Amino acid sequence: MVRENISRGRFFILSDNSLWQVDRFDRMDAAFWMRFEDVTVIHNGFNRAKLVNEDDVVEAKRLSGAALKTSIAGEFEGWDGDTVVKLIGGTIWKQSAYHYEYTYEYGPDVILYKNGYGISMLVDGTDEAVDVVQIR
């Protein structure tokens, strides 16, 4: 079952808390999938699957078995290589892998998820997830 449709079908968090990234060419089909809609996962390779609802089939990559959705407390001006982000709830995270991307958002949604070696943060409105470490 769909728990969250993020960025108009770009990502999904399913009821088992898994995070999936929908293939670029299938995002139009996935854009209108609704919360609580039933989805069947048909695995077809390492971390790859077809996500099937009653109308569409989309290809997706599993990013994580555990994802947390929250929001940034205040302004976000993108990634500069050394960005520090404070989240709702008070935790503070620092960028640990270089990526530069400018965007301005106030209080954007964020998804934190475990990757193979640490934690990645995906900020709504940005192009890619960035590795982060918690500093408080």
Q: What is the DSSP string of 8-46?
A: TTTEEEETT--EEEE-GGGHHHHTTPPTT---EEEEEET
Listed residues 48, 64, 80: the one ending a domain: 64
Tell me, yes or no, whether 40 and 73 share the same domain: no
Kindly state the average pLDDT of the residues 78-95: 96
Q: What span, in angstroms and rounded, lies between the C-alpha atoms of 104 and 133?
A: 22
Are 37 and 71 part of one and the same domain?
no
Q: What is the domain count for the chain?
A: 2
Determine the Cα–Cα distance for residues 15 and 2; give it in Å rounded to an integer: 6
Instruction: Assess whether 6 and 59 both reside in one domain.
Output: yes
Residues of the chain with pLDDT > 90, as a percent, come to 87
The residue out of 35, 64, 93 marking a domain boundary is 64
One domain, residues 74 and 119: yes
Residue 118 has a pLDDT of: 93
Residues 74, 115, single domain; the answer is: yes
Structural domain boundaries, residue 130:
67-134
Q: Do 57 and 73 lie in a common domain? A: no
pTM summary value: 0.81
Given pLDDT bands bounded at 50, 70 and 90, which one contains residue 45? confident
